[in-house]
Each structure stands twice: as C-alpha cells, then as structure tokens.
Structure 1
C-alpha cells in the first residue's frame, strides 16, 4: 500500500485552515471596518470624489501598523479591497503553521505538529480584529528559526543573519508586542543552543565569536525598537484619570495598570483560544488538536529520542522553553497599560498554545503518518465549524448593505451604537458600523485609528468632534459634537429615543435594516 505524501496532507490542512476566510462576504472581526477604512483612505488619499484629501494626510514616519496597511493597499491596485485583505489574512493563517514548521525543523524536531497550530490563528485576537499583531506572529516564529540557524549553520551564517535582521525589523512594522516575546525568546535560544565550534576547553571569547553573527542580526530590530518604544514611553503621558483611551497616571503606576488575577487568567485561558461563536462549536477543533498533541507525547514517552547528556536534554527543551515563556507573559503581564497598550496579556495565549502543542515529539516513526491525518481531521473540523459560523454572521451583517444605498456621497457619519453585539458571534462586531458606511461612500466616521500614533495616517487639522469613547454613545452632545455630522447610524435603540424632537425638525430616518437605523439631516 502506497504511503500518502506528507506534503499532500500539509497542503490539504492549510487549505482547510484558510477556507473560513473565503466562504462569506463579511468576517466577524471587531476592528476590521476601521482597518479597511484607513486602508481605503491610504489608497485614495488624493481622490477628490471623497472627503479624504480634505481631512487626512500621510504620517511620514515608521509606525507599527505600516506593514499591514501598505501591503493591503498595494494589493488593492490588483484586487478589490476586501479581496486584498482576505489574501493578506490567508497569508497569516497559512503562515502560522508554516513558520512554526520552519522553527521545528531548525530545532531538529519533527514538523508534523505545526499543523496543530491552525486553530490558534483564530480566537480572541482574530475576533477583536488585532490584525497587525496576528500578522506579526508567523514572523515571530520565523525569527526564532532564523536565529537558531544563524547559530548552528556555520557555512551559511551570513545568509541567515541577513534574513534574521530583515525579519526582526518586519515584526516591528506590524506590531511591537510580538517583539516583547522575542526579547525573552531569543536570549533563551542563545543560552540553550550549541554551535558547531563549541568545545569544553574554550574560553569566553572563543565561545562568543561564532555567536556574533546572531547577535548582529538582532541589532537593527533592537535599535528600531528603542527608537520607537523607549522614546514614546519617555514622553510625558496625557494623564486624564477615568477618561477612555487616556493614561490614568504615570505610565507604570498602579493606577495606570489594569491587572487580571492569576485565577481569572487561568479560568479564561482556554476560552481565549476559541471564543468566537456563541454556540461554542469553534472549540471542537481545539479539543481535537489537544488530543492529538497528547497522543504525540504518549508516543514520545513510549520511545523517547536519544539525548547526549544534560546538554542534549537542554537542547531538546528549547521549544518547550519558548512555549513556557509565552505562557508566563500571559499570566504575568497586565491586561491594559492605559493610554499605551490594551489587551496586552491575552495576546500571548495563542502563541503559547501553538508552541506548546508543537512540543509533541512522536518519536515513534510509524505514528507520524496517522498523527498527520489526525491533524488534517482537526483542520477539517475547523473549516466546517468556523465556515458555518462565518456564513451565519455574514447573513446577519447584510444590515450594513441595506443602509449603504441610503447613504449620500461624502457623508459625515456619527456612529451611535448602543448595541454592537451579534446573535452569532460573541464579539461586538457592529461597534464600528459608521466606518463601513463612510468607506463605501467616501466619507468619514466620527472615530478612526488616524487619531492614534501607530497609524500611518493622521488628520490634517483637528479631529472631527466626537464623544470620548465610541463604546459610550450615551455621552454624545448632539448640539455641539453632533452638529458637524449629516448622517447618524443608530443601533440598539430607536432613533426617537436618541434624537427626540430633532427627528421631526432637523433629522429624518432614511433607512432601517436589521437592528440598525440610518438618520440624515433634512
């Protein structure tokens, strides 16, 4: 009987892992409307048929979101924007197991467990729409693999060093928080990786010399990190206690840090890994990969790989150490550093899980093919459950389409979203509905990421007037802030409850779809 080609199994699993991105028009990602809006602005910054030239300009500086926005904007010259974005997301989903496989091979381990990482491409960070951070994860794993190869592959050290330098800088062009893991992971690999030149009689200088290329490879990234992060944290914070999106005290003071206790993090860990669908069906693939990883570990215990003393055991523990470091970041870091970083510790859960399930050795060779098939079965479960859930959400999200036709060109749209929730997914995916209408008609919503320093765009003058947080529409002052806008999208409350007598004199309801209403000035 012919043994199936492992590459066929890997290819089939990758295709199934990315399939949920392509089976529906709308993706359930909270911040996605904001990202697509700014990419549209970046791509059409000089388009006179929009409000973009009047309100926005490029921020001529390196920023952490630059990589995602500019890459999708470039793809937008060839493909429609939403298709270009799906191509980018597909590269991320497929890239996570591929980069993990590269790391596994670099560490001299079997590569089949890389397929178990596919479910961790989704979950909490994906659902919130933290696309920049998600995109940095495959690059983070790639950096670890390149670092190991720069240490161990003596004939090609210069080549690997150049790749490491480029990859580490690219990580920072997507998101700084991934660099935080590398700040611990790369030193761990440096301490636990033997190089071919190592001998017991070497002095410190002789041991350091073959490691210099790996250290030089991280210099450009470290320099860029220091220029961005350290200088930013050194700036006086805008302290406004209790105000949303502002520092509540000095950067690392107790009043500015929001923590989750150990018990809360422990209770939420499994949920964070698969928390998209209300019916919980997206957890089935997670259960599957955990079971396959356990079987892989059993196989490794039945026939463990030979080790050469303590040094060999330490070398084999490198991947486990990386996983434990990511897990420690999840438990030890604060949830928010107000005014700077939000949802900080939860983002490391998926990285930790992907690394830890990949530690399954399965050193019994005859077990590897069945385990590959089991990993493929997990990918099939992932495709079916998420695909069905994404299609159900997309049908719900057609309420956006019902309002676009009633929106005038160049609209100024204020979002008054009292209920951003969905009947299908657990995230408040309708909170940025104003950005959907503004993008489709070349206008502007009351809130955009251009107000943040990590965006490659900024406002030409003052920001459009709005209430402090898009999450608290009840704080709006319609006489002052609302006067600038000619469109209002209301969700979760009837317009008569929001506008009162204005609905008779100044405003009129021009559309209603699903749980949303569109109101325009007369």
Structure 2
C-alpha cells in the first residue's frame, strides 16, 4: 500500500514545481508570442473579423508541432487561449517527473529521484519557448518505459507494445529531436534488458522471438520519421551563404554546420540548465537537487538497499540513457543551418533529469527522508522562479499599453532594436509584433507559418519583411514597410528609424515602457 505521507509529498512537489506558471500574467518565453499567435489563427481560421481567412490556410499534412498547436486549440474551446496554454505547460512540467517515475519503476528502481527532475523542466529550452520539444520529453521517457515493459512484462506484452507504438508516433507529432535520443536509447535498452524467456532459450531465434513485439512497436514511429526527415533532407537545400535561416552549403557540409567546442559546451552546461534570471537565483534549485542526488548516492553506498535479481548490466540501464543524452549534448552541432537550430543544447535537460535519477536503491527507511529533501528543492524552485516570473510580468505590461493603442486587423511590423529584459536573460520582446497582431486579429511581419513544420501556411506570398527579425536595421521602409500600417519600435526612438516620415505619413500613437507604437496617418 502506498504510504500516505509519500503521496502527499509527491503531490505537493508537483504543485510547487508548476506554481511559477500561475503566479504571473506573462511568461518569459521567447517564442511563446509566435506560438500563441499561430494557435489563435488555427482556432479562428474562418473568423471574418480578423485578417486570418485572407492570409492563412491549414496545411493538411502530418507535421511536427501539430500536437501542441491542435491540443491547445482544442482546449481553447473551453478556456481562454492563455489559460489553455498554461494548462498545457502545466501538464508538461508535472509530466516530466511523472514519466521519469514510470521509467524508474519500469527499470525496477526507487521512484523518489523522479522529483529531482522538476527544475530541469525549465531552463534554456523553456526560456527560448521551444514548447514542442519540451512537451516531447515526458513522452520520450514514457517510450523508454513502455519499451522495457514490452520486453519484460510477458502477460501484458501486447498492451505495452501498442502503447509504445502510439507514444512514439506522438513524440514525432511534437518534435523530431526527441526522436533522435530514442534512436540511441531504445537500442541501448534492447541490448541491456533481459526477457523472462532468456532462461530457457536455445539459440538466437528463441532469444529474438520474445523481443519481436517491442521491435514491432517501434515500426510506425520509424516509418513516420523516415518519411519526414529523410525525405526533407533529401530535398535540394536553398543555399544562401550568410543569409539568416537559410542553408549556407550542402546540408552536412562544414560550412553549413555550426559547432561549439567541447570546452565551450562544458563551460555552458550549467548555464543551459538554469539560465533564466539575470540575478542567477534560478540556479539555487539546480544546486539543491544536485546535493540531494549526491546524498542519495552516499546513502546507497553506506547502506545499500536490495537490488533483487538485477545484475550490473540491468542496473546500468538508466545511467546509460543519461550518458547517451549527455553525449548528444557534447557531440552534436549547435546548428544545421536551414534545418535545425539550438540542436545540441536541447539534450542537456534530458541528460540532467536522467542522471540525477540514478541514485542506487537505498534501504527503504531512508527513502522517505530523501523524498522530503527532493520536495524541498521544489519549494526553492517555486520561490525563485515565481518571484522572477512576477518581476518579468510587471516589465511586460508594456505590451498591454501597446495593445490598447492598436487598431483592429493591423498589419504590424516589429522593429525590435532592443529585445532584452531587465529581469530575464532571454530576448523575450523580440516577437512583440505577434502579441499585438494576436490581440487585434491582425498579422505580424514574421510568423512560423513560413516554416514547413507549422500546421498553417500562407495562402499566397509571405508578407514582405527584412531577412531576420533580429536585424531591424536591414529593413527597407519604402518596399518592405509599405505593406504595413502599424509599427512597434523598441529600444530606439521612432524618430531615429522613420525620420521625416513621422511628419508626413506616420505618427506615434502610443508609448509604453521601452516601446513605441507608430501608425500610418
């Protein structure tokens, strides 16, 4: 029977882990305005009071990102969009330790270390707003657990195989980079997991037969992966050396791969894991879980718990998964230009979550105190991130002032010379134009609908804009700017951008924080 105290600790830790998502109006996530804008378009694609019907159409194909966009759009029928998105993010944050706990139980390990993964639900990928990839992480851990059970649990092998097949396809509907880890992790589990039939098996065929169901469970996901990734990489790249978001050479050529050195990756590892707040206080929870994980190792060495019938290979399975994720962080390029960006850094959180959970089995009497210590780490997390998110939200109220001055159905060009925040380290104001466009049913100069992984696309030509939203100084106001009726400028005064045009064709209609709203007369 489950210890009531242990259950209370687990629930309290999950609530505290998700609390930062609910204490502020605005979340410090770089790409979140873009995601919410496209979800709004998807949800209101036929709304004539917006510009959406004349500019966008659904991309009727299975694509990565489809899972997040359609799930939140479905929730949007019941809840306001912002609230629906927070519910989704909450499911991700609490899903990470829950899915890790399922994997630990599948591997025959104590589950209390799963709570140590909660701080790693935040950090670099969360701050950049890589929500699709983040959401794929709990599903990735579930796939590993399903795979192990499809091998070991003979009476329910068929059910676990079906769950594996569905889960693996679902991972791809969120993000293909999580599948990259499974391409190594599942073979590792296949090689290191014994099945009950091995005791009486004679020959290779008898050893392989009980493993066939688990392998069949992988087939649908692998087929979909090959159909998406291999076919896409097989297409001739649009090579434009030096151009933003374009290939600089053949896909895997040296000029198209952006690498970080081993020394740089090593130096940045802790920054990637906890780099949200400028004051560095979000690192406190990371240091706390590291200390508790170390205490778990020490406790296990002083008083080892029962290991059952598992041999050293079986006990090393979780550690092997963590090492594989860490190897992807150190060995993969940072960018494959024109295809994948921030590639290697995304695996750091997965590696950290797996490695802190590797504390060996301790005697049962010590597991409850360790679980209390793990829960205490989430209290630190809730306090530091909650305080930081609230401070950022006060800063981000400048969006609300701009929205109040924005007309309906605007065509908004964002000229963000200073995307930074005084509170968080990420350039969280870079997509300010998407905030205004979503609130007023308009369109910004840049959206993810121009990318092939979006479930939406433009009906006709993409609205004219400068090559990179990060370089507003490259704008040509006579050609690219002529299509727009509204401009949001941040970081410099509009007079430095528009000059004499402010006296003739444009006028400043609002100012909030470090941003100005400019409209055509």
For the superposition of Structure 1 and Structure 2, which TM-score range results when normalised by the shorter chain?
over 0.9
- 1:469, CA displacement in angstroms? 0.2
Paired residues of 1:18 and 1:93 also in contact (CA < 8 A): yes
* Correspondence 1:407 to 2:411: no
The more displaced of 107-116 and 193-202 is 193-202
- Please list the CA deviations of residues 207-241 of structure 1 after superposition, one character each: whole Å capped at 9, or x if unmatched: 00000000000000000000000000000000000
Paired residues of 1:298 and 1:362 also in contact (CA < 8 A): no
* Correspondence 1:278 to 2:271: no
Paired residues of 1:30 and 1:429 also in contact (CA < 8 A): yes
Tell me the SS of whatever aligns to 1:155.
coil
Q: Where does residue 238 of structure 2 map in the other structure?
A: 238
- Please list the CA deviations of residues 237-256 of structure 1 after superposition, one character each: whole Å capped at 9, or x if unmatched: 00000000000000000000
* Correspondence 1:339 to 2:347: no
Question: What are the ranges of 5 or more consecutive residues in structure 2 without an aligned counterpart?
Answer: none
Tell me the SS of whatever aligns to 1:416.
strand
Determine the C-alpha separation between the residues in 2 that align with 1:494 and 1:361.
59
Q: Where does residue 257 of structure 2 map in the other structure?
A: 257
Q: Where does residue 186 of structure 1 map in the other structure?
A: 186
Q: Where does residue 302 of structure 2 map in the other structure?
A: 302
Q: Where does residue 515 of structure 1 map in the other structure?
A: 514
1:345-494 equivalence runs, <5 A: 345-494=344-493
Tell me the SS of whatever aligns to 1:438.
helix
Tell me the SS of whatever aligns to 2:383.
helix
Q: Where does residue 112 of structure 2 map in the other structure?
A: 112
If the length of structure 1 is used for normalisation, what is the TM-score?
0.98
Question: What are the ranges of 5 or more consecutive residues in structure 1 without an aligned counterpart?
Answer: none
1:126-205 equivalence runs, <5 A: 126-199=126-199, 202-205=202-205
- 1:365, CA displacement in angstroms? 1.7
- 1:306, CA displacement in angstroms? 5.3
- 1:302, CA displacement in angstroms? 1.5
- Please list the CA deviations of residues 354-374 of structure 1 after superposition, one character each: whole Å capped at 9, or x if unmatched: 000000124122211111111
Determine the C-alpha separation between the residues in 2 that align with 1:182 and 1:478.
47
- Please list the CA deviations of residues 279-336 of structure 1 after superposition, one character each: whole Å capped at 9, or x if unmatched: 0010000010000000000111113345689x71000000000000000000000000
Tell me the SS of whatever aligns to 2:510.
strand
- Please list the CA deviations of residues 258-282 of structure 1 after superposition, one character each: whole Å capped at 9, or x if unmatched: 0000000000001100000000010
- 1:440, CA displacement in angstroms? 0.2
What is the Cα-based RMSD across aligned positions, in Å?
1.2
- 1:201, CA displacement in angstroms? 5.5
- 1:202, CA displacement in angstroms? 1.9
Tell me the SS of whatever aligns to 2:199.
coil
Aligned residues: 520
Q: Where does residue 122 of structure 2 map in the other structure?
A: 122
- Please list the CA deviations of residues 154-208 of structure 1 after superposition, one character each: whole Å capped at 9, or x if unmatched: 0000000000000000000000000000000000000000000002752100000
Tell me the SS of whatever aligns to 1:60.
coil
Paired residues of 2:306 and 2:362 also in contact (CA < 8 A): no
Determine the C-alpha separation between the residues in 2 that align with 1:306 and 1:67.
41
Tell me the SS of whatever aligns to 2:414.
strand
- 1:4, CA displacement in angstroms? 5.4
- Write out the 4+ residue segments of structure 1 that deviate beyond 6 Å after TM superposition: none
Determine the C-alpha separation between the residues in 2 that align with 1:56 and 1:308.
58
Q: Where does residue 82 of structure 2 map in the other structure?
A: 82
Determine the C-alpha separation between the residues in 2 that align with 1:123 and 1:201.
47
Tell me the SS of whatever aligns to 1:198.
helix
1:40-79 equivalence runs, <5 A: 40-79=40-79
Paired residues of 2:450 and 2:458 also in contact (CA < 8 A): yes
Determine the C-alpha separation between the residues in 1 that align with 2:16 and 2:306.
35
Q: Give the direction of change, closer, same or farther, for the CA distance of 1:99–1:307 in structure 2 (3 Å limit).
A: closer
